[in-house]
């Protein structure tokens, strides 16, 4: 029995070390995502300026490509936030942006659009529920401190 009690702190310490390593890897990956998004944003700006902003934005296909690229950059930033903060609402944000991108860029018929709108509505309801739960948790914590 005594050996089990001695092993528990060792396993707990090992688990803490693994957790720190995993958090470090997540931060590194988040930094890589942020650097990639910044490089992509700069490349988008440079290519748009070189090709002529007015001509590039007035053409529907070009505008759709720019919008698709911007939404990918936003999704990348949201992924980085999700890796850094570890909050359920961040996961919902990533899903909302990914669904919006799918709707705006690749949706071809009304059924796709309807499914996308319903999906975003459900995700928004989940986000509001998470927000309310966080507020009630914060209020209950304040009462006892």
What's residue 37's pLDDT? 96
Tokens of 139: 């209020």
Encode pLDDT of 4-32 as tens digits. 555 667 778 888 888 899 999 999 999 99
Residues 70 and 14 in one domain: yes
CA-wise closest residue to 93 among 120, 113, 112: 120
User: What phi and psi, each to the nearest 5 degrees, are found at residue 123?
Assistant: -65, -40
Quick one: angle between helices 88-101 and 60-85, nearest 10? Answer: 170
Is the same domain home to 2 and 73? yes
Which of residues 51, 70, 86 is at a domain's end? Answer: 86
Q: Which of 66, 86, 106 is the last residue of a domain?
A: 86
Instruction: Indicate if 76 and 37 belong to the same structural domain.
Output: yes
Give pLDDT tens digits for 69-90.
Answer: 999 999 999 999 999 988 888 8
Distance between CA atoms of 66 and 63, rounded to whole angstroms? 5
Q: Does residue 77 sit in the same domain as residue 95? A: no
CA angle, 46 then 40 then 55, to 5° = 40
Please give the tally of structural domains in the chain: 2
Query: Mean pLDDT across the chain, nearest whole number?
Result: 84
Its domain, for residue 65, covers 1-86
pLDDT band at 3 (very low <50, low <70, confident <90, very high): low
- Residue 133 is predicted with a pLDDT of 84
User: Using CA atoms, how far apart are residues 27 and 123, in angstroms rounded to an integer?
Assistant: 26
Helix, strand or coil, per DSSP, at residue 107: coil
Q: So what's the pLDDT on residue 7?
A: 62
* pTM for the structure as a whole: 0.74
Q: Do 100 and 55 share a structural domain?
A: no
Q: Which of 86, 108, 124 is the last residue of a domain?
A: 86
60 and 128 share one domain: no
List Cβ neighbours of 123 (8 Å cut-off, separation of 6 or more): 92, 95, 96, 99
Query: Are 77 and 109 members of one domain?
Result: no
């Amino acid at each position: 029995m005594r050996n089990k009690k001695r092993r528990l702190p060792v396993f707990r310490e090992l688990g803490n070390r693994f957790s720190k390593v995993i958090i470090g890897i997540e931060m590194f990956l988040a930094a890589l995502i942020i650097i990639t998004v910044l490089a992509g944003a700069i490349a988008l700006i440079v290519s748009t300026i070189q090709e002529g902003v007015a001509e590039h934005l007035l053409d529907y296909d070009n505008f759709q490509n720019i919008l698709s690229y911007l939404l990918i950059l936003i999704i990348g930033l949201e992924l980085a936030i999700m890796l850094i903060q570890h909050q359920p609402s961040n996961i919902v944000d990533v899903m909302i942006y990914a669904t919006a991108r799918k709707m705006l860029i690749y949706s071809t018929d009304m059924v796709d659009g309807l499914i996308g709108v319903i999906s975003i509505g459900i995700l928004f309801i989940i986000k509001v529920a998470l927000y309310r739960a966080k507020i009630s948790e914060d209020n209950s914590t304040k009462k006892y401190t």
